[in-house]
Structure 1
Amino acid sequence: MVAKSSAEPSLSILEPSRPVFRRKRFLLPFGISAGIALVGVVALLVSGAVALPFRGVTVVRAMMASKVEFFSDAEVRRILMANGIQVHLTDSGGSTEIAKERADPTSFDFVMPSGQLTARQIHDRVGGTPFYPFTTPLVIAAFSDYARALAHAGVAEPQSDGDGLYYTLDMAEFVGLTLEGKTWKGIEGGGLTSENQIIAQSPDPCRAYSGAAYLAVVAFAANDRRAPTEAEALAVATKIKPLFEVEGQFGAGIGRTFFGPDGRTFAPVSVIYEHQYLAYQIRTEERTGEVDRDRVLLYPDAHHHAEPWLIAFSEAGEQVGRLLQENPDLQRRALELGFRLGRAGSASVGTVLAERGIPVGNPGQGDTEAYVAKPAALATMIGELGDCPSGVPL
């Protein structure tokens, strides 16, 4: 017989193996997440946006035309957000659309037409508080061989300190070439093969401030450097009509076409604003280390500076206007986007260009300002030259 063991069965409790590594697997992702969160908080502190959830963000409704590009800029939006402002943009499709009788600018916190002619009309009609954050000259942008051809014809002259990027254009002579029916190929020794008539393609004066302002500059040049009176307006419009009929007019703007890859084909000589050209060259230099020498600027010898007014109809709109006129970060960004500060400050766009080794042009060489016809006379010319289906805007 085998004796049975009377020993009780034992219960062994085993220590868990490698506990240290289990804790590490738990803590590692937590540590990474915490680090990312810390970096995010630091970034928010630096940008000034960390306090926004606590103080609230004011959404401001605005209508504008070409200056939509300024408020769409990521840095401008960041600076505004750091100051508790978010601008909701409505593109009017052209500054003169805002000025029409059927439009109600006061339904927005602010509007921002592209120039003072339209802005003054809006302000006279519905009031509001105007602000004047920056200016930008009206210019003619061209591919360099077209500018050299005009210089060869004695119509344009390179600016001495412009390093080949800037010219001064004799507007009366330029208008004369078109009225003579001269083609680019017809400039003897100019080196061009284009059989198109010599013109600068411009936006529709019925819709775009730049189109109406260019019409005024041409009328001034064609009228012996005098703004046409109401009595003269129809005759002057009839005289310069070929400049606007031969091209077919663009809509509210032409800058994107000129700077696009097919610019030489569709818009080799175009009416734009100086800030569009300077902003393009700043971006090009930052991206490639050099400027685009194939695109140049022609400053009309009788100049016109467009002054976009911000017209506020609410306290929120006024807050944006004050920021644009007083905030140093927004002023600096405006310069980086090619604007001149005008009444808003003393800093110069030349400073921003010099930092990048880009020469600055002189829009007022000769100091002659193109006086714009009075609203009634300008409206007569626009009505004669433009196809305004909903009425002349001025």
Structure 2
Amino acid sequence: MKLDTVREEKAIENLTSRLTDAFADIHTPEDIETAIRTARESFAGDPVRDYVPILIERIVRAELAPKPEPAEQATTAERQARWTRPAVTLEPGDDATAAPDGSAADQASAGAGGGGTAGTGLGEFRRRFPIALPAAVAGVLVLATIATVLVVRNGGDAAAKSPANSGLTTVGGVIGSEKRAFFEDPDVKAVLAKHGFAVNVDTAGSREIATSVDLSKYDFAFPSSSTAAERILQPTSGRPAVGGKKFAVFSSPMAIATYQPIVDLLSATGIARQVNGVWYFNVRKYVDLAKANWRWTNIHGNTTYPVNKRILITTTDPRTSNSAAMFLSIVSYVANHNTVVQSEADEQKVLPLVAPLFVNQGYTDNSSEGPFDDYLSLGMGKSPMVNIYEAQFVEAAVERKLKPGMVLMYPSPTVQSKHTLVSFDANGEKLGQLLATDPELQRLAARHGFRTADESQFASVVKQHDVPVAQEVIDVADTPTYDTLERLLDAVSKSYR
């Protein structure tokens, strides 16, 4: 199955789950699945697939939504509102097919930050015509909608997002997806505005930012590690070096999001242990079990998760994402007998052990947002253990998104991911300095789960929301050098083929 097909199937699976929950009171699961299948069939044969799940969701929601009783009369404004909607506007780096929480679809439904282009798109045509619109007509509409999206993405980003008559300096950047909520926080925007800035961000995997994203249109890049930041500042094939400064804004250790039944099961095998209320995961034993191709059914007395799947931690795609690169740093360190991989001989020794930990997962998301959203919404059946940034779990606790039985566990050893901003011009530099030093912004960063220079801020947040975190992360491995990690990542990438 092609990658694009896999991504679309995953998006449709998540869409089905969301709509089943949303319309459970008024429609049967069979009716919802039929509506999705019918809408999808109208796009059969269309070559451009990226936005199909978004468009399907718009169509099906319109079909399933309760219909209001017809009014005797409708005002002109009401009629206009009934047939007008914001244009579909996606940001570069957003993945329409892999948005398990519906964020891309919601953005398509509501418009992006007030920007975008007014117009009538496929969703409105679907309201006026039967759902089984002929495929040829649907294809034309899809291409027209996507053309509008591309115009907005490639030609009008700054103008669309710039606050009209605000007097603020608009600064644009590309960031790792785990920081999206921070920059979208109204309180963060207010503090930035107080300092004269309006910040617009696009998201991408940190390794994508470092290797393939066109950085020429941005004032700054904000990947999730100092290694990725270092890569940005170096010339690569097809892209010259960029001048700039680095700002270590905040940090987050790598962690594992799991569930109490899984922790109890792993505890019985000695892989997991609890110290002072905090759970730790023995990476050495994990690598050994994976090498022996252990499955969950191999664990003696396993009645809580008797699934014939390999014991694997779900990661993102190491070819694009920093969180996967950080996990590679951890397992390569352990596979190299608790020594940082430094030489070609070390690389050749550890690759047969660590590459299967990624390849055997099958499809993986491009950024850390996807698998964690699945963790929050789909339960342990899909992914019993997910590699995350600690900040994601803490932020979810603050926002009351965690369900009973969700557990944070730390790899032993782990690595500290240092979220590092790279400025490309004077505005980017001013922003980096501000984010790294302003007490209000640092306090808000702690509220989003990040550890800052002032340790008391993070401690206050986790105490207030009763999140069982490691107050001090002691068992920390060093990451390989930039060149070594790149060679390891390239070798793992080749293993996929």
TM-score over 0.5 for the alignment?
yes
Corresponding residue to 2:358 among 213, 234, 244: 244
Corresponding residue to 2:390 among 252, 270, 274: 274
Structure 2: distance between partners of 1:201 and 1:357: 26
Corresponding residue to 1:159 among 242, 251, 275: 275
Give the secondary-structure state (helix, strand or coil) at the position aligned to 1:278: helix
Q: 8 Å contact 1:141–1:272 — kept in the other structure?
A: yes
Structure 2: distance between partners of 1:234 and 1:334: 39
- Cα deviations across residues 210-265 of structure 1 (Å, max 9, x unaligned)? 11111111111111111222232133112222211221132222444344321423
Q: Aligned in 2, Cα 1:315/1:377: closer, same or farther, shift over 3 Å? A: closer
Q: Aligned in 2, Cα 1:368/1:356: closer, same or farther, shift over 3 Å? A: closer
Q: 8 Å contact 1:238–1:384 — kept in the other structure?
A: no
Q: Paired residue for 2:486?
A: 379
Q: Aligned in 2, Cα 1:116/1:188: closer, same or farther, shift over 3 Å? A: same
Match for 1:231: what amino acid?
A
Q: Paired residue for 2:122?
A: none
Q: Aligned in 2, Cα 1:242/1:346: closer, same or farther, shift over 3 Å? A: closer
Corresponding residue to 2:338 among 205, 225, 248: 225
Within-5 A mapping of 1:56-205: 56-66=167-177, 67-91=179-203, 93-100=204-211, 103-124=213-234, 125-160=241-276, 162=277, 166-191=278-303, 192-205=305-318
Q: Paired residue for 2:417?
A: 306
Give the secondary-structure state (helix, strand or coil) at the position aligned to 2:456: coil
Q: 8 Å contact 2:394–2:467 — kept in the other structure?
A: no
Match for 2:487: what amino acid?
T
Q: 8 Å contact 2:397–2:465 — kept in the other structure?
A: no
Corresponding residue to 2:461 among 335, 343, 352: 352
Structure 2: distance between partners of 1:149 and 1:104: 46
Within-5 A mapping of 1:8-27: none
Q: Paired residue for 1:370?
A: 477
CA displacement at 1:106 relative to structure 2 = 4.6
Q: 5+ unaligned residues in a row in structure 2: which ranges?
A: 1-162, 235-240
Residue range with higher mean Cα deviation, 173-182 or 79-88: 79-88
Q: 5+ unaligned residues in a row in structure 1: which ranges?
A: 1-51, 390-394
Q: Aligned in 2, Cα 1:300/1:210: closer, same or farther, shift over 3 Å? A: same
Within-5 A mapping of 1:248-267: 248=362, 249-253=364-368, 254-267=370-383
Q: Aligned in 2, Cα 1:236/1:151: closer, same or farther, shift over 3 Å? A: same
Q: 8 Å contact 2:222–2:420 — kept in the other structure?
A: yes
Q: Paired residue for 1:39?
A: none
Q: 8 Å contact 2:254–2:389 — kept in the other structure?
A: yes
What TM-score does the superposition give when structure 2 sets the normalisation length?
0.61
Q: Aligned in 2, Cα 1:85/1:283: closer, same or farther, shift over 3 Å? A: same
Structure 1: distance between partners of 2:399 and 2:299: 34
Match for 2:367: what amino acid?
A
CA displacement at 1:275 relative to structure 2 = 0.3
Q: Aligned in 2, Cα 1:71/1:217: closer, same or farther, shift over 3 Å? A: same
Within-5 A mapping of 1:313-352: 313-341=424-452, 344-352=453-461
Structure 1: distance between partners of 2:318 and 2:374: 18
TM-align CA RMSD: 2.3
CA displacement at 1:346 relative to structure 2 = 4.2
1:216 aligns with 2:323: no
Structure 2: distance between partners of 1:209 and 1:86: 26
CA displacement at 1:301 relative to structure 2 = 1.4
CA displacement at 1:371 relative to structure 2 = 2.4
Give the secondary-structure state (helix, strand or coil) at the position aligned to 1:296: strand
Match for 1:273: what amino acid?
Y
Structure 1: distance between partners of 2:186 and 2:180: 12
Structure 2: distance between partners of 1:103 and 1:197: 34
Q: Aligned in 2, Cα 1:62/1:336: closer, same or farther, shift over 3 Å? A: same
Q: 8 Å contact 2:375–2:386 — kept in the other structure?
A: no
CA displacement at 1:184 relative to structure 2 = 1.5
Give the secondary-structure state (helix, strand or coil) at the position aligned to 1:369: coil
Q: 8 Å contact 2:336–2:346 — kept in the other structure?
A: no
Percent pairwise identity: 27
Q: Number of aligned pairs?
A: 323
Q: Aligned in 2, Cα 1:388/1:89: closer, same or farther, shift over 3 Å? A: farther
Structure 2: distance between partners of 1:75 and 1:259: 27
Q: Aligned in 2, Cα 1:300/1:197: closer, same or farther, shift over 3 Å? A: same
Match for 2:356: what amino acid?
P
Higher helix fraction: Structure 1 or Structure 2? 2
